Amino acid sequence: MECDGYIVPVIWGRHNAISLPELHDSIVSCISFTNDSISLSVITPCSNNIMINFIGIHAFCCNELLESNIIYDVRKIEYDAITIEMIEKLYNVPSDFVIRDSMLQQVQQKISSEESIFVRVSSSYGCEILTLCKTIEMRKCGKTMLSP
C-alpha cells in the first residue's frame, strides 16, 4: 500500500514509546512487505491513516493477527531490556540455550552499535509485532473512508 503523505518525526518519548498519542487505540488495517521493509497501515480513532514503515528488516514476527488489531503502543526496546523470550518469538528459535544466547548477543550488539533498533508493537487486542530493523519512518496519509 502506497502513501505519499508527509513524514511525521518519530520521537521516542516516555518509556521509549512513540510520542504520538493517536497511535493508542488505532487499528492495524494492513501489513505489506517489500524486499527490505514492512509497512503497517494504521487507522486512528479519528479516522486518520498512518503508515508505519520498518526499513532495513533483519527480523520480523507478527503473532495473534486477528480481524481487528488494536494498538496499545509502539515501543523501542533497549539492548539491555531484550529478553530471551523476545528472541525466541522474533526468530522462532528452538530451546537450545547456546543458539538463543548467541542470537541474543548478536541482537544486542546490533542495537548497542546503533546499527539497528528493536521495536515492539503491543496491542490491547490482537497481534503483537516484534521487529529488528535499521530505522522506522511514519507518514500521515490523510483521512480514510473506513471507520476504525
pLDDT of residue 60: 93
Task: Evaluate whether residue 108 is within a structural domain.
Answer: no
Task: Evaluate whether residue 102 is within a structural domain.
Answer: no
Are the C-beta atoms of 76 and 11 separated by less than 8 Å?
no
Task: Evaluate whether residue 56 is within a structural domain.
Answer: yes
Please tell me whether residue 40 adopts helix, strand or coil conformation: strand
C-alpha 42 chain-centroid distance: 12
Are the C-beta atoms of 136 and 54 separated by less than 8 Å?
yes
What is the spatial distance between Cα 85 and Cα 70, in angstroms, rounded to a whole number?
A: 22
Task: Evaluate whether residue 121 is within a structural domain.
Answer: yes
Task: Evaluate whether residue 111 is within a structural domain.
Answer: no
Task: Evaluate whether residue 109 is within a structural domain.
Answer: no
Structure letter (DSSP) for residue 66: -
* Predicted TM-score of the model (pTM): 0.82
pLDDT (average), residues 122-137: 90
Q: How many domains in the chain?
A: 1
Range of the domain at 137: 6-77+117-141
What is the spatial distance between Cα 95 and Cα 60, in angstroms, rounded to a whole number?
A: 19
pLDDT at 130 over 90: yes
Q: Which amino acid is it at 52? A: I
Task: Evaluate whether residue 19 is within a structural domain.
Answer: yes
Q: For 41-80, how does the pLDDT look when each residue is reduced to its tens digit (9 = 90+)?
A: 999 888 889 899 999 999 899 988 887 789 998 888 888 8
Task: Evaluate whether residue 44 is within a structural domain.
Answer: yes
Q: Grid coordinates representing 13?
A: 518519548
Q: For 88-104, how does the pLDDT look when each residue is reduced to its tens digit (9 = 90+)?
A: 888 887 666 677 778 77
pLDDT at 147 over 70: no
pLDDT at 148 over 60: no
